[in-house]
Structure 1
Amino acid sequence: MTQRLALVTGVSGYIGGRLVPELLQAGFRVRAMARRPEALRDRPWIDDVEVVQADAADAEQVRAALAGVDVAYYLIHAMSSGSQFSSKDRRTARTFARASKAQGVGRLVYLGGLYPEGEELSTHLESRREVGEILLDSGVPTTVLRAAVILGSGSASFEMVRHLTERLPAMVCPKWVSNRIQPIAIRDVLRYLVGVADLPPEVSRVFDIGGPDVLTYLDMMRVYAEVAGLPKRHVLPVGVMSPRLSSHWVGTVTPVPKRIAQPLVESLVHEVVCQEHDIAQWVPDPEEGLIGYREAVALALQRIQEANVATRWSSASLPGAPSDPLPSDPGWSGGNLYVDDRTTVVEAPREVLWEVLEGIGGERGWYSWPTAWAVRGVLDRFSGGPGLRRGRRDPRSLMIGDAVDWWRVEERLPGELLRLRAEMRLPGLAWLDLRIESDPVGRTLFRQRALFHPKGLAGQAYWAAISPFHDVVFGGMQRNVARAAEALVRERRTGAPRGPVDSARRAGEAREGAHAA
């Protein structure tokens, strides 16, 4: 029997990246659609799928990607608000719907948001509702799954609950924390997404999906505190905080930036509880039942503690973030591309230096003048950027496409190159190029390049303003990375207790900070 072919869009995102291995395990052939296929190169499932390059807004490319497909998963969302995002969602959904009909796709599956009927919806939820209707009207049998808060290690909703609860033992919260919500564990969402591929053609409708528990957001924070072993949290709900103000507050306290927090918060203004559980007729509940909120939190925390987070909310680029690859055209040289280029000899093997480089950022930091990095991160957050709080998916290893604080991994060649593209708010485009080379006598060289392509006069002025600090920030970073690699070599030669990498980093940062002062 021929295996059915499933097309997955949004494969670089939180849901899509987890759905692919589930479909493979269920016996599907999988075709992954991506604008930049090279960005999927490090995914553990990449050798088991067919990858096609297509922009969801390009009708010809989408039709080609959908050729021969039995079930297509539409997991494309603009995680922001405003009419321009709604119109883009609308156009993209219509393009995909028409192409699916033309290519004879057997079923469309869309994961949308749960919302109450008869209420004025936020821009984000209204767009989700509209996309679902466009797909249902396509003439292709369609399943629209509507979910409220999705809980799993690395999900934006879970990160909001986690950081609000952990960082604020007492807080004043908006009144929406008392609204009822029916969260669902990511494992159950994936089970439903795979299961609905088997629905008969005559079933084309919306299904509400949710876990077994209906709670308030306040309940969710309190239960999280219990599961995480935190002291009781004290919350005072007030009625004076608008969704816009709330999203600023969430963006300040949690790693989730305002542009993603705002649509999530606007959704919480509504009570989102399932009105039916008809999905169980077609995808039966497991014998042990659906995963409850308490268990979902425990599972997510376990994955985080084990550093076993497959995808994260930051897996997809921020709306509006630059996606330009580092230019290699010689025409970019000279005045069009500023470069701070430094090279130092490191008394350590290449593999040890690579280990230090691949662990950079997140809790380990950036090996130079932490106060300067922290201040720049705060300024970036207040200007709408990601700041430094996104951290990392995994503390030890990286994949192409991973977020690392305000950077994103653009290229990764183990033992040779780690290239990061900036997603901070800048008057231009910026990269940090970390290379490992060898000199003629075989010594290990660490070459570090900070590159900046300015936009207009503001970009020129920005580079001129920060240039005096480069020796402290980038020079200090290079020196301390080298010291950390050399300390790691000494540790392994002597069998000393683990930890000198971070010790060398902290000592170096202290020296650089004193030098800056």
Structure 2
Amino acid sequence: MAGCLVTGATGYIGGRLVPELLAAGHDVRCMVRSAARLRDLPWAGHTEVVEADATDPERTFQALQGVEIAYYLIHAMGTADRFADRDRLAARTFAAAAERAGVRRIVYLGGLTAGERLSPHMRSRAEVGEIFLRAGVPSVVLRAAVIIGSGSASFEMLRYLTERLPIMTTPRWVRSPTQPIAVHDVLRYLVAWAAVPGTVNGGFDIGGPDVLTYADMMHGYASVAGLPARVIIPVPVLTPKLSSLWVGLVTPVPAGIARPLVESMRNEAVCHEHDIARYVPDPEEGLIGFRQAVSLALMRIKEADVATRWSSASTPGAPSDPLPTDPGWAGGSLYIDRRSGPVAASPEALWRVIESIGGENGWYSLPVAWRLRGLLDRLVGGVGLRRGRRDPGRLRVGDSVDFWRVEELLPGRLLRLRAEMRLPGLAWLELGVTVSHGRTFYNQRAIFHPRGLLGHLYWWAISPFHGLIFGRIPINVAAAAARSERSGSGRGR
């Protein structure tokens, strides 16, 4: 198998490409400016990590020695002025170092655009591609439009705009046709070029099977996410600058990233050829369509795997899943109420209280508030508090606990409950036990993933009451655990 070097391994595509190359049996070297950023990733120990800046000729040459396939995934989006000069210098330096090191092929992922009035960032990407195609090393330039996968800046902007705005006035670029591609297919193309024989030197358009406008994609996202149909009203007065400011107000995508994305969308981004299939044939089942790609990107949330998605976990999943290296604004909105504190009892006593929560044992908070919430849930067709518990002191995965369901149970450590009440979103309640320096600690997280604008309004509306409800649970649970320590029962309100 080929020895591969991946630049930009801390970025969106690079962080997903490395484990795919490893799974395909390739030896992988990661070239990064700071090796510390890869330190905690589970695949880092299976790669060689070298520190180098692509504008440094000697360090880049050293990083490329012994490499057959070099993946160039560097772009200066979101940086200050003169990014095009840095892009040009880095590409030329990398190409020269690759030729000097005897690299067999450079693979570059650029942007897919058409027309003469390209945005500065798209013009720079096109120029980088031309630099590699004219270099002394055979190069493959892949040109992609919107990449669909959690963590992709383009997808995140689509996600936030669609989820947060049921009615929106939009600039004319929402009518520009584009050909989105699933991140799964992008990675399949990238990995395949490590094994394609010969000295191919050329550019290839890559896209999924659907040609859509941005408005079409917002409607499609809303449908897949289970949101009501969006009302989109295009207006001619929003310039790219005003549009990026508007995006910045509505979404957490930084303005330095939103503006080049918005500017690029004024151009058509549709594949004009599919020559890549001569070297990398389409899979038997075909390329992934837009709606399936969105569904894959949202699957982790639908499966409610909050431990992987929203904690410090670092195990990579499917290519469309979020990764720890993704920016903090990626992955969709999430509200978390955290509570923790020491408990004057043993971990076993605290766990007995946690495992017995709900049903006849109560929720260690304001009983009237929980009864009222259960009544409101029943009024709108929910299950309310009437289900209670199967067993007053023991739980297992799948058990119902009032209007919750046990989603995860790690005896003595963690209880995660998924809400089954009627909500404009998904909700979980985590209760856990940790021990530090011989002391017992209670840990609690209330987690809410809103669905649409109503979900955000719901969270903001109930936030003032969190102190009364969630804030009292740790205090009363700690007191019950102390009593349990003395009595050994572990039950109480």
Shared fold (TM-score, shorter chain, > 0.5):
yes
Contact 1:153 1:304 in 2 (8 A): no
Counting only pairs closer than 5 Å after superposition, residues 58-457 of structure 1 correspond to structure 2 as: 58-80=56-78, 83-116=81-114, 118-306=115-303, 307=305, 310=316, 312=322, 315=325, 346-347=342-343, 442-443=438-439
Offset at residue 52 of structure 1 (A): 1.3
Q: Post-superposition shift, 1:199?
A: 3.1
Provide the rounded CA distance (Å) in 2 between the counterparts of 1:350 and 1:71: 56
Opposite residue 160 of structure 2, the aligned amino acid is H
Secondary structure, counterpart of 2:238 in structure 1: coil
SS at match of 1:302: helix
The Cα of 1:201 is off from its aligned counterpart by 3.5
For 1:315, give the aligned amino acid. Answer: T
Kindly state the Cα deviation for residue 443 of structure 1 after the two structures are TM-superposed. Answer: 4.6
The farther-off stretch of 92-101 and 191-200 is 191-200
- 2:259 corresponds to which letter in structure 1? Q
Q: 1:301 to 1:347 in 2, by over 3 A?
A: same
With 9-18 and 482-491 compared, the bigger mean Cα shift is at 482-491
Task: Report the residue type matching 1:55 in the other structure.
Answer: D
Structure 1 residue 316: Cα displacement = 6.1
- Report the AA paired with residue 91 of structure 1: L
SS in 2 for 1:68: coil
- 1:295-316, Cα deviation, whole Å (9 max, x unpaired): 0111111023344555659936
Instruction: Work out whether residues 346 and 486 of structure 1, in 8 Å CA contact, stay in contact via their aligned partners in 2.
Output: no
TM-superposition CA deviations, 1:66-92 (whole Å, max 9, x none): 010010000011113765111111111
Please tell me the residue identity of whatever aligns with 1:346: P
> Which residue does 1:8 correspond to in 2?
6
User: What does residue 333 of structure 1 align with?
Assistant: none
> Are the counterparts in 2 of residues 153 and 303 from structure 1 also a CA contact under 8 Å?
no
- Distance in 1 (CA, whole Å) between partners of 2:55 and 2:102 is 19
Counterpart secondary structure, 1:270? coil
Distance 2:477 2:98 in 1: 54
Aligned residue identity for 1:257: P
2: CA distance between counterparts of 1:219 and 1:261? 19
Distance 1:183 1:275 in 2: 14
Q: What do residues 236-289 of structure 1 show as CA deviations (whole Å, max 9, x unaligned)?
A: 101100111111111111121111111111110101000100001110000000
User: Do the aligned residues in 1 keep the contact of 2:2 with 2:195 (CA within 8 Å)?
Assistant: no
Quick one: structure 1 residues 349 and 496, their matched pair in 2 at CA, closer, same or farther if it must change by over 3 Å?
Answer: closer
Amino acid paired to 2:21 = L
Q: Percent identity?
A: 57
Contact (CA 8 Å) 1:81, 1:123: kept in 2 or not? Answer: no
Deviates more, 1:185-194 or 1:58-67: 58-67
Letter paired with 2:264:
S
Q: Which has the larger radius of gyration?
A: 2
Which residue of 26, 34, 37 corresponds with 1:36?
34
Q: Secondary structure at the match of 1:140?
A: coil
Is the CA contact (8 Å cut-off) linking 1:13 and 1:313 kept in structure 2? no
Once the two structures are TM-superposed, the CA of residue 104 in structure 1 deviates from its matched residue by 0.3
In structure 2, what is the Cα distance between the partners aligned to 1:277 and 1:490? 67
Structure 1 residue 46 corresponds to structure 2 residue 77: no
Compare 68-77 and 308-317 and name the one that shifted more: 308-317
Residue 15 of structure 2 aligns with which residue? 17
TM-superposed CA distance for 1:444, in Å, is: 7.4
Judge conservation of contact 2:149–2:182 (CA < 8 Å) in 1.
Answer: yes
Q: Report the Cα distance in structure 2 between the residues aligned to 1:11 and 1:174, rounded to whole angstroms.
A: 34
Q: Residues 346 and 482 of structure 1 are in contact (CA less than 8 Å); yes or no, is this contact kept in structure 2? A: no
Is this contact kept in 1: 2:105–2:199, CA < 8 A?
no
Judge conservation of contact 1:174–1:239 (CA < 8 Å) in 2: yes
C-alpha distance in 2, partners of 1:496/1:110? 62
After TM superposition, the structure 1 = structure 2 runs for residues 482-493 of structure 1, keeping only pairs within 5 Å, are none
Q: Which moved more, 1:184-193 or 1:222-231?
A: 222-231
Counting matched residue pairs gives 353
Partner Cα separation in structure 2 for residue 125 and residue 304 of structure 1:
32
Q: CA deviation at 1:438?
A: 6.9
SS in structure 1 at match of 2:210? coil
- Tell me the CA shift for residue 210 of structure 1: 0.1
Does the 8 Å CA contact 1:170/1:233 hold for their aligned counterparts?
yes
Structure 1: stretches of 5+ with no match in the other structure: 319-343, 353-435, 447-480, 501-517
Segment drifting more, 65-74 vs 193-202? 193-202
- Secondary structure at the aligned position of 2:94 is classed as helix
CA displacement at 1:134 relative to structure 2? 1.2
Runs of 5+ unmatched residues, structure 2: 310-315, 329-339, 349-433, 443-469
Cα separation, 2, equivalents of 1:67 and 1:105: 8
Distance 1:197 1:26 in 2: 10
For residues 398-433 of structure 1, give each alpha carbon's deviation from its aligned partner in whole angstroms, at most 9, with x where no partner exists: xxxxxxxxxxxxxxxxxxxxxxxxxxxxxxxxxxxx
Shift of 1:42: 1.4
1:77 counterpart letter in structure 2: H
Contact 1:82-1:123 within 8 A present in 2 as well = no
- The separation in 1 between residues aligned to 2:342 and 2:248, in whole angstroms, is 39
- For residues 142 and 350 of structure 1, the distance between their equivalents in structure 2, rounded to whole angstroms, comes to 63
Distance 1:4 1:243 in 2: 43
Q: 1:173: Cα distance to partner?
A: 0.3
Deviation string, structure 1 residues 148-188 (Cα, Å, up to 9, x no partner): 00001221111111111111110100011011010000000
Q: Which residue of 1 aligns with 2:397?
A: none
Residues 484 and 158 of structure 1, relative CA distance in 2, 3 Å threshold: farther
- Answer whether contact 1:9 1:16 (CA < 8 A) is retained: yes
Deviation at 1:46, TM superposition (A): 1.4
Q: Check 1:233–1:200 CA distance in 2 against 1; reply closer, same or farther (3 A cut).
A: same
CA distance in 2 between partners of 1:280 and 1:347 (Å): 62
Return the alpha-carbon distance in structure 2 between the equivalents of residues 191 and 495 of structure 1.
53
Residue 49 to residue 119, structure 1, CA distance change in 2 (3 Å): same
